[in-house]
């Protein structure tokens, strides 16, 4: 009896609610309501799947960025080791030459630019052998904006600005009455092409520009 009475009460409530909603008692409207509910459920499910995929892609991108950062750090460490080995080789070779008969040390002396030209410089330097040790001499402007105890030389490609070589911890010296910052490099640094060279102060907190230089190296078979 209780169940029958409860069923009758439920049916009465449902009928009363349907009567309150005009037209809901028609089967077409009821089926439309069911279809809309199914569509909404499908949209919600699709959004949930898309959200999971977006989260997975974000995690994948984070992992790729982490791997790229690790690879970049490894490349920087490898470059630092190669530069240190190259400089040690250059210094050792210079010592060996100095201990024997006098040997003319090849030098490359560059004057500071007054302004950067719009076109790359003409090739005026012959392509040196890769193993050739060269003393790079950068003349310091007579009135330098900044003087410091340590300097840094950075060699970059004239077009594109890709870093080629750098050396820090250098000091200023006076050679033949001219102030300059010098460093030993090897011929493999200066392949055929145009380069821009930046001389800056080498400070842990902040560096400042001192002067800029340009040089272009012609190919070995140039006539």
Question: 113 with 211, same domain?
Answer: yes
Look up the CATH number of the domain holding residue 209.
2.60.40.10
**DSSP conformational letter for 125:** B
Mean local confidence (pLDDT), 154-182:
89
Question: 85 with 124, same domain?
Answer: no
Over residues 100-157, the pLDDT tens digits come to: 544 456 889 999 998 878 888 888 899 888 878 888 999 998 776 556 778 999 999 9
> In the listed set 64, 86, 103, which residue is the last one of a domain according to the structure?
103
Question: 88 with 23, same domain?
Answer: yes
Question: 124 with 84, same domain?
Answer: no
Distances (CA, A) of 80 to 8, 74, 184, 208: 87, 10, 15, 22
Inside any domain, residue 143: yes
Length of the chain: 223
Question: 83 with 97, same domain?
Answer: yes
> In the listed set 51, 71, 103, which residue is the last one of a domain according to the structure?
103
Question: 124 with 61, same domain?
Answer: no
The neighbour count for residue 52, using CB atoms within 10 Å, is: 10
Inside any domain, residue 222: no
The pLDDT confidence band at residue 92, using thresholds 50, 70 and 90, is low
Mean local confidence (pLDDT), 26-40:
79
Inside any domain, residue 203: yes
Q: What gap in Å lies between CA 13 and CA 156, rounded to an integer? A: 84
What's the predicted TM-score (pTM) here? 0.55
Question: 161 with 112, same domain?
Answer: yes
Q: Is residue 2 over pLDDT 60?
A: no
> In the listed set 79, 103, 127, which residue is the last one of a domain according to the structure?
103
Torsion angle of alpha carbons 77, 79, 83, 89, nearest 10°?
A: 90
Inside any domain, residue 146: yes
- At 69, give phi and psi (nearest 5°): -65, -40
Judged by average pLDDT, the poorest of 15-29, 58-72, 76-90 is 15-29
Q: In terms of residue numbers, what domain contains 86?
A: 1-103
Judged by average pLDDT, the poorest of 52-66, 97-111, 203-217 is 97-111
pLDDT score at 102: 47
Q: Is residue 78 over pLDDT 90?
A: no
**Tally of domains within the chain:** 2
Q: What gap in Å lies between CA 193 and CA 218, rounded to an integer? A: 7
């Amino acid at each position: 009896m209780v169940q029958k009475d409860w069923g009758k009460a439920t049916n009465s409530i449902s009928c009363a609610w349907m009567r309150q909603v005009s037209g809901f008692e028609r089967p077409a409207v009821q089926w439309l309501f069911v279809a809309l509910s199914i569509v909404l459920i499908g949209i919600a499910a699709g959004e949930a799947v898309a959200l999971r995929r977006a989260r997975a892609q974000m995690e994948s991108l984070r992992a790729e960025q982490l791997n790229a950062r690790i690879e970049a750090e490894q490349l920087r460490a490898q470059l630092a080791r190669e530069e240190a080995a190259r400089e040690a080789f250059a210094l050792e070779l210079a010592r060996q030459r100095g201990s024997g008969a006098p040997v003319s040390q090849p030098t490359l002396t560059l004057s500071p630019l007054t302004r950067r030209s719009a076109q790359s410089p003409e090739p005026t330097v012959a392509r040196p052998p890769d193993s050739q040790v060269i003393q790079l001499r950068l003349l310091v402007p007579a009135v330098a904006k900044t003087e410091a105890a340590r300097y840094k030389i950075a060699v970059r490609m004239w077009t594109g600005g890709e870093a080629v070589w750098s050396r820090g911890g250098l000091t200023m010296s006076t050679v033949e009455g001219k102030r300059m910052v010098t460093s030993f490099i090897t011929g493999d640094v200066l392949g055929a092409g145009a380069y821009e060279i930046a001389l800056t102060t080498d400070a842990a907190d902040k560096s400042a520009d001192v002067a800029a230089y340009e040089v272009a190296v012609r190919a070995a078979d140039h006539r």
